[in-house]
Amino acid sequence: MNLQEKIVLLAKRRGFFWQAYEIYGGVGGFYVLGPLGVRIRDKIVELWRKIFVKENGFIEIESPVIAPYVVFEASGHVASFKDPMAECLQCKRKYRADHLLKEAGIDVPESTPLDEIKEMLNEKVKCPECKSMRWNVRPFLTMFETKIGPYTENRGFLRPETAQGMFVEFKRLYEISRGKLPLGIAQIGKGFRNEISPRQAMVRLREFNMMEVELFMNPEEGCPYLDRVKDVKLPLLTEELVAKGVKEPVVVTAREAAERRLVKHPWLAYFLALSKIFLNKLGVPDDKQRFKAKLEGERAHYSAQTFDHEVYLEGYGWVEVAGHAYRTDYDLSSHMAKSGEDLTVSIPLDKPIKKVVEKVELIVDKVKIEYPDKWKEILKNRSKIKIKDGKAFLDDEELKEGTYEIKKQEVVEIVRKIVPHVVEPSFGVERLILTALTYAYRVKEDRVVLSLPREIAPLEVAVFPLVTKDGLPEKALEIKVMLDKAGFYTVYDESGSIGRRYARVDEIGVPFAVTVDYQTLKDESVTVRDRDTWEQERVKVDELVEYLRRKFS
RNA sequence: GCGGCCGUCGUCUAGUCUGGUCUAGGACGUCAGCCCUCCAAGCUGACGAUCGCGGGUUCAAAUCCCGCCGGCCGCACCA
C-alpha cells in the first residue's frame, strides 16, 4: 500500500474526508469533508487569509456561485472550454472530434465550426469500434450548466473559478476602496468543473474549494511589498527550462526573479514567495516545492504567464496546488467590451501635461439668426462639433462663418486612464489538505502519528484521566471545560488504556495531551505530553491555558 | 472517454478458479463491563457484511453470465 492509499484509509476511518454518496455507489469527483476535514480546512483557510489577505491589506468578498451565460461569454470560457465531442450514431460511443480527425491525418484549427467538423467526419472517418460513418458533433463544455428561473431559457453556469466575481464587481469594489491601486480582492469559495475523469482521491474534483486573490495594479508600477520577501528562494522551472525538458529548477531569490524578468511582473514574484512561505507552514520543505511555468500553448486563454506551484507528494508525484497567473488586462477589458461599462481607472501623472486645445465657442445670437429652424438642435449638439482646418463642422456640415469663434485654450492634464492589470494566485483547498496530511504522516514505533503543524491541527488538546476511578475523570472533565472556554478545540477520552488513548490522538494529529493523575489531586498539576517527542511536562492547572497559548502562538 | 486491474463487517482480509458444508470465517478497530498509577497490555461479552447496484442462468450464486455504478493505474483531458 502506498502512502496516498494509507492516507485515504486514515481519512475515511477517522473522519477527514471520504467519497460522497457512498450508499448509492459513489459519484466520481465529489467528496465529503468530515468533522476533522472541516476543522483542518478552516485552519488552512485562516492561515491563507492571514498571509494572502490580512497582511497585505487586501479585501475579501463572496460572490454568487451561479453566473449568467454572458459572464462566461465575456470571460472567454464559453469559447475556450468547448471541446468538440463526436458521437457515433450507431454505437453511441463518444470521442474527441479533433482527435479522430488528427488520427485520420486531418489537422483542424480550434476555430473550425462544428458543422464543418461534422461534415469532415461523415466523409472520412469511421468509428474505431463499429466502423459506422454516421456522426453527430456537439460541443462538450466542462462547465456545469443550469437554468436561471423556472420559465425562462436564461442559461447559467456554475463558476469554474471564483475570479470572475471579482472582475464583474470590480467597479464598485474600486469605488468602495476609494479609488486606490494596487487593489487586492480575495475570495474563498466553491468552484465547479465537470472533469472528464476525476482521479487521485481529492486531487481532481468536480466541486472544490478555491482561494483566490485578484490583484489589480498599474502594470508600470512595481510591487511595494516585494522587499519583505526579497530573499525568499524560489525554485523556478522557467518557460525556457520546461521547453528544454530540464527537470532541475533554477533557484533564485524573489528579487532576482523580478529583476532578471524571469517572472513578468514583480507582483507575480511576490506571490510566488508568499506561496512558498505558505506551503512551508503547511509542512512542505523547500526541496519538495517548485514553480513550473506553463508553456504558451498550455496556458489558459487569459494568461500571459503562469507558474504552477507544485509540491511533491509521495505516491502521486508532482501535484499542482496553486496557479499563479499574470492575467494582464484581459478580464477587465473583456467585461468592459461586453458590458459597455467603463472599467478604467484614473492614474495621477507624475508631471502634469500641458496641452493647447482648440475649442469652438458658439455665438448664440448669430446662430439663432443664421439657423432660425434648427438653432436649438445645434446648441444641444455643441459637444459634437469638430474642428477641421480651422473650421467648425457638425455632422460633416460646415457651420456658417460668423456663428462661432475658434479659441485656443491651455489645459493641464493630471490623470490618465488605464485598464488595471491583474496578477492572480489561486489555490485549491482540498489539495492543500492532502498535502498537509502527506507531509504530516509518520510512523513511530509502529504507530501512525500525524505531525501536523500546530497551526492547522484540527483538534488542539486532548484531556485524559489516567485511570477511570478515584475522581480523576471528574477532574479531567473540569479541565476540558476550562480549555474549551479558553478557546481550544479539545477532545476528552477515558476509554481503554492511557497508551491507547495517546495513540488515538496521535493518529489525528492532536499536538498535546493533558493527563490528570493522582498528583493532580494533591497539587493541582497535570502532565502535558507532546505529540511528536512523547515527552511530558508537569504544569499547574491554573497556568495551563497560558502554557498552551504560548505553544500555539 | 479508451485499455488493464479491482469492488466481501468501520478497516484489512479468507472464501470466487473447481456453485451446495458460507444462516459468510478471522484479525484490527469500536462499544460495555472487569482490571487499571503514563504510551495500541489482559479477561468477558456485544455490535458489526442481504458479498458495489440491477438483471439472468440454476433445485441452489459472494462464486458463472450480462448491464450499470464506483475505485486505482496508463493514455487522453486538466481554465
Q: What is the full per-residue pLDDT of chain A (553 aa) written as tens digits?
A: 778 888 988 999 999 999 888 888 788 889 999 999 999 999 999 999 999 999 999 999 999 999 998 999 899 888 776 667 777 666 556 666 766 676 666 666 655 667 777 777 777 777 665 666 777 777 677 888 888 887 777 888 999 999 999 999 999 999 999 989 999 999 999 999 888 778 788 888 999 999 999 999 999 999 999 999 999 999 999 999 998 888 899 999 999 999 999 999 999 999 999 999 999 999 999 999 999 999 887 788 888 999 999 999 988 889 999 999 999 999 999 999 999 899 999 888 877 777 777 777 777 878 888 888 887 777 777 777 777 777 888 777 787 888 887 877 777 778 888 999 999 999 999 999 999 999 999 998 888 999 999 999 999 999 999 999 999 999 999 999 999 999 999 999 999 999 999 999 999 999 999 999 999 999 999 999 999 999 999 999 999 999 999 999 9
CA of A312 to C1' of B14 (A): 37
- Please identify residues in chain A, positions 405-434, with a C-beta within 7 angstroms of any atom of strand B: none
A500 touches strand B (CB under 7 A): yes
A466 touches strand B (CB under 7 A): yes
A376 touches strand B (CB under 7 A): no
Distance of CA A56 to the CA centre of its chain: 16
A467 touches strand B (CB under 7 A): yes
CA-nearest of A263, A260, A181, A191 to A214 is A181
Give strand letter and number of the nucleotide nearest A85 (CA to C1'): B1
Contact A101, A128 (CB under 8 A): no
* Total residues found in chain A within this entry: 553
Say yes or no: domain A459-552 is CATH 2.40.40.20: no
CA of A88 to C1' of B56 (A): 29
CA of A26 to C1' of B56 (A): 25
CA of A191 to C1' of B30 (A): 37
CA of A453 to C1' of B26 (A): 38
Bases in strand B with any atom closer than 7 Å to a protein CB:
1-2, 7, 10-12, 30-32, 35-41, 52-53, 69-79
A200 touches strand B (CB under 7 A): yes
CA of A40 to C1' of B14 (A): 38
Query: What residues pair up with A366 in beta bridges, in sequence order?
Result: none
Contact A12, A31 (CB under 8 A): no
Interacting residues of A147 by C-beta distance below 8 A, sequence separation 6+: A153, A154, A155, A156
A84 phi and psi angles, rounded to 5 deg: -75, 120
Alpha-carbon distance A163 to A345, whole Å?
19
CA of A96 to C1' of B66 (A): 28
DSSP state of A53: I
Q: What is the CATH number of domain A3-81+142-330+422-431?
A: 3.30.930.10
Give strand letter and number of the nucleotide nearest A196 (CA to C1'): B77
CA of A196 to C1' of B5 (A): 21
Residue A414 has a pLDDT of 81
Residue A222 has a pLDDT of 93
DSSP state of A262: S
Task: List the end-to-end C-alpha distance of chain A, in Å, as a whole number.
Answer: 37
Delimit the domains of chain A by residue range. Answer: 3-81+142-330+422-431, 348-417, 459-552
- Please identify residues in chain A, positions 202-241, with a C-beta within 7 angstroms of any atom of strand B: 204
Alpha-carbon distance A162 to A194, whole Å?
15
- Please identify residues in chain A, positions 4-33, with a C-beta within 7 angstroms of any atom of strand B: 4, 9, 12-13, 19, 24-29
pTM of the model: 0.86
DSSP state of A29: T
Alpha-carbon distance A534 to A59, whole Å?
42
CA-nearest of A59, A457, A436 to A278 is A436
Give strand letter and number of the nucleotide nearest A75 (CA to C1'): B79
A94 touches strand B (CB under 7 A): yes
Residue A347 has a pLDDT of 85
A142 touches strand B (CB under 7 A): yes
CA of A19 to C1' of B19 (A): 34
A495 touches strand B (CB under 7 A): yes
Alpha-carbon distance A391 to A78, whole Å?
49
Decide if the complex's ipTM is over 0.85: yes
Q: What is the DSSP code string of A221-261? A: S--TTGGGGTT-EEEEE-HHHHHHT--SPEEEEHHHHHHTT
E-only strand ranges, A296-344? 305-313, 317-328
